[in-house]
Amino acid sequence: MFERNLLEGKIALVTGGGTGIGFSIGKRYGELGASIAICGRRENVLADAVFKFKEAGIDADSHRCDVRDPTQVSETVDHFMDRFGKIDVLVNNAAGNFVSPTEKLSPHAFDAVIGIVLHGTVYMTLELGKRWIRNGQHGVVLDIVTTYAWTGSGYVVPSAAAKAGVLALVRSLAVEWAKYGIRHVAIAPGPFPTEATRKNLFPIPEIEDRIVQRVPLKRPGRMDEIANLAAYLVSDGAEYINGSVVTIDGGEWLKGAGQFNHLENLTEDQWKMIYKISRKKE
């Protein structure tokens, strides 16, 4: 699909890059010539991901980081700057989410999602963006959002609020930082099942089945599809794309706004089952 050297010489930092969408994006970037820096909270997961990257011939490194902590974010960027000498691409992928009736959420549960998704994205973007501006370096920030960032959705309210904030950040900085040669773009995925989404968003099969049936193409997304889109958006071939969010959901949101609104049909017993399964998997 792409020339093998599409991203040659570029250094890409992917938050939450040890698993799922983040890992798939990092791997595709590496296959196209980039060196990959990943961060996350679990060192064993990061180490395993770096091992897989290197097995595939990809130059990669990792650093433990909780993106909710600005000090750890700064230390992480320092680490990768020392290791690679520069960072060209930032992918804000780290996320936290779970399904729940909003009235049952505690302040802590709400803050946990907002902290990772919104604050983490802001901290990482500012930390790297300030360095790019100070050094006169061009860069690209790719944020992973969701279609309910603009439609809203019941039962995932903390995530909807946080992702809406991230999308506003993308559009705002696309204008403000364009003069520095810094682009901001976003991807809004539909259902791309991963281990984390099955644990937190699809803990019972009925939820995933209903979401897939809402997709006009009648299937979930494949990781290679979102990884290829992510590769194009940060490449030099997309240098006139700025402030845009690209939807990749098989047409799902056009069929009905609010990805999780259908959960209003779950019974109280099903919700109890979800809570039980979620706690068991922690």
List active site positions.
148
The closest of 148, 168, 165, 146 to 256, measured between CA atoms, is 148
Closest CA to 136 of 92, 91, 182, 100: 182
* Contact of 99 with 156, CB cutoff 8 Å: yes
Task: Tell me which amino acid residue 199 is.
Answer: K
Distance of CA 255 to the CA centre of its chain: 23
Which residues have CB under 8 Å from 265's CB, separation 6+? none
Supply φ then ψ for residue 190, to 5 degrees. -85, -145
| Strand ranges in the chain using DSSP code E only, listed in sequence order | 11-15, 35-40, 60-64, 89-92, 139-144, 182-189, 245-248
What is the distance between the alpha carbons of residues 56 and 30, in angstroms, rounded to a whole number? 9
Q: What are phi and psi of 200, to 5 degrees?
A: -100, -30
Contacts of residue 241, Cβ cutoff 8 Å, sequence gap at least 6: 183, 185, 233
CB within 8 Å of 160: residues ≥ 6 apart:
146, 148, 149, 152, 153
Q: Measured between alpha carbons, how far is 132 from 180 in angstroms, rounded to an integer?
A: 8
Number of H helices and E strands in the chain, helices first, is: 12, 7
